[in-house]
Amino acid sequence: MKLFILFFFLCSFAQSNDSKFIFPEGELELLQSQNQLGLYFQLQPDWHIYWKNSGDSGAPPLWKWQLTHAEMQQELWPAPQRIPVAGLMNIGYSDKSLFVFNLKAQGPFDASLDLEFLVCKVECIPYFTKLKK
């Protein structure tokens, strides 16, 4: 019986977190409203991700959306900051950042995302994840 309860708890936990990805340097969450999606990053101190023009090094997040009953209209990147690292000037985001995606939806919709991103301090760590709402 204890094994069943543990298995049920683990399966429930995994299913309830399809929209969140936790990694050692921070976490990200896929948010949804009536006609928008958001990708919210919260990073540990001294870590950063990159803007669409990353500067001297790095690479921007790459996303591939699969939408049902909705169509992507516009990507809104937050204003970046300059991040000096080891003599290089990077452009990106530290602490918290919210990427907004405007949609054309006529009612309820489903969204899933394949995401690839780098999180960096001095050296970068690549992450790949899938999120859905």
**11-23 confidence digits (pLDDT tens):** 333 333 699 999 9
Measure Cα distances from 64 to 55, 67, 83, 108 in Å.
Answer: 23, 10, 26, 20
User: Which tops the pLDDT comparison, 61 or 4?
Assistant: 61
Predicted TM-score of the model (pTM): 0.83
Q: Show Cβ contacts of residue 10 under 8 Å, excluding neighbours closer than 6 positions.
A: none
**pLDDT for residue 106:** 84
Provide the residue count of the chain: 133
Q: Show Cβ contacts of residue 101 under 8 Å, excluding neighbours closer than 6 positions.
A: 36, 37, 38, 39, 65, 72, 74, 75, 76
**CA 59, CA 124: separation in Å to the nearest integer?**
10
The mean pLDDT value of the chain amounts to 88
| Region for residue 73 given its phi and psi (left: phi exceeds 0; alpha: psi -120 to 50; beta: otherwise) | alpha
Which pairing describes strands 96-120 and 124-132: parallel, antiparallel, or unpaired? antiparallel
Phi, psi angles (nearest 5°) of residue 87: 80, 0
**pLDDT for residue 89:** 94
Map residue 33 onto helix, strand or coil.
coil
